[in-house]
Structure 1
Amino acid sequence: MAAELVQQVVTTGATTVVGLMATEAWTQVRSRLAVLFGRGRDTEQVAAELEGIRVEVVRADGDAEPVGDHTAELRGRIRRLVRQDPGAAAELQAILAEFGPQQPAGAQVSITTNTFSDGTASGILVMAYNSVVHQHEAAPAPLPRSTPPRD
């Protein structure tokens, strides 16, 4: 499997799994993910680990730091899984296609760009489920021009 495709599966997979943890679909998808992630381990133990992550994600209530930590943890887990068994990527994609967010046929994608030019903005802004965020350092504001004193 091409490295770019693996990276896409890893990133999209982890983000989607964390997103599913906060939905009604989690009760259905948890056991399938436990089988997938469990490979050679006790499925119930893996399901309990995933449930522990879900509890923390739900408890985070929008706090990006713990959600990001768990997303990173799952990215690592998925990456190791796909390295050990490349066929697991297709299995994960099938599960996520069944339970993940669906985009209707013919749906259009819109790209929104926000530019801050005067002032300071800080914090995290999430605008959509699948977003790409680019953060750039703002250029310093130009100094006001001094005008010569009038006589």
Structure 2
Amino acid sequence: MDAELVALATAGATAVVQQMATDSWARARDRVVAFFARRGEAQEDAVARELETSRGELMAALDSGDEQTASDVRAEWRTRLRRALLADPAAAAELRAVLAEILPGPDGPPVTEVRNTISGGVQHGPVIQAGSVGPVTLGTPDHPAGH
């Protein structure tokens, strides 16, 4: 198999599994279901059930810190995508379109990158790192922080 198609199958599986753990999973699932259904691999409802089963396994694995099961879920979908691409090399363009649609980007949810560096010795207060922070209260109303 062409190295580019292997890389695409790997990227596709990674994206699908990442999306399983997000709020936008339903949209991503529908696009992946349609991709496989067009390949004639299975009926849409069967693919949807398989994806939901994988999602359940992944979420349980993430909750328990079971990286092996999470890796197995990625491997399963990488194999399925690789087989679909082998059977229909023209599917690569469609898979790229699916990935462009489900991954964060200019038209998707914003991606925030935060980099903080703490230096200069011991820090004696809270350190918060986040893409955005709403109202923050440190301490309690009876005992404000730093008093």
Aligned position for 2:97: 94
Aligned position for 1:112: none
- 2:6, 2:46 → 1: CA distance? 27
Aligned position for 1:125: none
- 1:18, 1:96 → 2: CA distance? 12
Alignment of 1:73-84 (within 5 A): 73-84=76-87
Cα displacement (A) at 1:6: 0.6
Cα displacement (A) at 1:94: 0.9
Cα displacement (A) at 1:67: 0.7
Q: Which runs of 5+ in 1 are unaligned?
A: 104-151
Aligned position for 2:20: 21
> What percentage of aligned pairs have identical amino acids?
43
Q: Which runs of 5+ in 2 are unaligned?
A: 107-147
Give 1:78's aligned amino acid.
Answer: L
Cα displacement (A) at 1:63: 2.2
Aligned position for 2:135: none
TM-score by length of 2: 0.64
Structure 1 SS opposite 2:68: helix
- 1:102, 1:35 → 2: CA distance? 21
- 2:96, 2:66 → 1: CA distance? 27
1:53 aligns with 2:54: yes
Name the Cα RMSD after superposition. 1.9
Aligned position for 1:9: 8
- 1:16, 1:83 → 2: CA distance? 19
1:7-39, CA deviations, whole angstroms, 9 ceiling, x for partnerless residues? 110111111110010001111111221121233
Aligned residues: 103
Moved over 3 A (4+): none
TM-score by length of 1: 0.63
Structure 1 SS opposite 2:23: coil
